[in-house]
Amino acid sequence: MNNGDQTKGAGSNQMWGGRFDGGPSAIMREINASIPFDKALWRQDIAASKAHVTMLGAQGIVSGEDVEAILSGLGKVAAEYEANGVPEDWALEDIHMTTESRLAELIGPAAGRLHTARSRNDQVATDFKLWVRDAIDQADAGLEALQKALVTRAGEHAASIMPGFTHLQTAQPVTLGHHLMAYYEMMARDRSRFADARARMNRCPLGSAALAGTGFAIDREMTAKALGFDGPSANSLDGVSDRDFALDYLSAAAQCALHLSRLAEEFVLWASQPFGWIALPDSLSTGSSIMPQKKNPDAAELVRGHSGRITGCLVSLMMTMKGLPLAYSKDMQDDKPPVFEAASLLALSIAAMTGMVADTQFSTERMRSAAELGYATATDLADWLVREADIPFREAHHITGAAVKLAEARGVALDQLPLQDLKAIDARIDERVIAALSVEASVAARSSHGGTAPGQVRLRVAEARITLGMDAS
């Protein structure tokens, strides 16, 4: 890497032209260079340059001979980058000048025509949009795979009973399939947010030039179409200064990371010995350097930790953009590192949770036993009193509380209390109540739309499989 002490660029700067008598200082060269991170945009930069020069040729702005030379040269540059990576010369500042410089070495002065009717401002906005759009597509594909894993496991455990919690206290029995399908719904909303962000960002800034557009007779519709955009951006000032698309991506990524973190936290809890509900796959666990019995849920913990870093990336870019006047300011060079970091962390988090969901072993008997603790069917007793004895719910709540107190004093579950003891609490209770107090009866009774009853879970799983194309022949 150029450490800033090389003399390349001394004198009149090759890229800035004749405005400056001297080259930049070592400090300026280092603070100004973005090539260490924006080299990640090389594929997008090559694609946008090819679209731009093809349009210039179609409009008669650049000769066909020069267009062919430039396209051929860009192809060679891309092949070099693919094979050897992008060289880092801080004197060239960024990926755009690095590519143009190498192109000039390959094809000579014709390379200088590539930058006709564009600026680095609209060039980087276009490249960055293309990169973020690709990142959205990758996140969506990863989330689809995670959804499929959730749906598969939910179908296997549509009737497996576990305790449902509020305040991390036993509330009511639910099914494991129902619990997993809750995360399927969260991921569906995450995918919708990414889709919304993609649709909103899909206007092409190329042709906005520095900020005011260009006097050349360019065809912005042509370049937009070639790059897969819905059309060109409508305002050149906005085209080069807009980073809403990056903020939209980071916002969706942060929300997704929060969902992944919640799932990871539950897996951490469930894998602990006091719970003992799951055995995480060895491939996503680690051991201890001193305690041989340990199997640590490190992957889940790192997913949980990554949510904070991804949210930090969102806040970082928001603070960068909050006070910038139109159009382009050098602060915006700092837009890419948080997006690149968030995208990398999110991809890892999605992949890790997909593997965990797919390969975790569930101890369903232990889950069911836990569901019988904490008087999780108390609400079923209250509901029975309302439904069968026509007692107002508040009164039924009070009667049920007395029954729970008695069961707690005797150290038994509600459905293990003798009928005569229940009748002693309230004479309107009869033998029919016993059938309503098991955990199986409790989950079966929750058959309202979206409820935890096994039949409802199987219905939601079937719908999800259709949505995901899992049953397509």
Q: Which residues are catalytic?
A: 167, 288
Nearest Cα to Cα of residue 92 among 12, 20, 2: 2
Distant-in-sequence, close-in-space partners of 366: CB < 8 Å, separation ≥ 6: 275, 276, 277
Distance CA 400, CA 397 (A): 5
User: Can you tell me the distance from the alpha carbon of 306 to that of 300, in angstroms, rounded to the nearest whole number?
Assistant: 10
Q: Which residues of 318-343 are buried (b: 16+ CB within 10 A; e: fewer)?
A: eebbeeeeebbeeebbebbbbbbbbb
Residues forming beta bridges with residue 232, ordered by sequence position? 204
Nearest to 416 by CA among 427, 428, 407, 405: 407
Q: Which two tokens stand for residue 383?
A: 């509901």
Six-digit token pair at 372? 């019988």
Region of 114 please: left (phi>0), alpha (psi -120 to 50) or beta. Answer: alpha
Question: Pairing state of beta strands 169-175 and 278-279?
Answer: unpaired
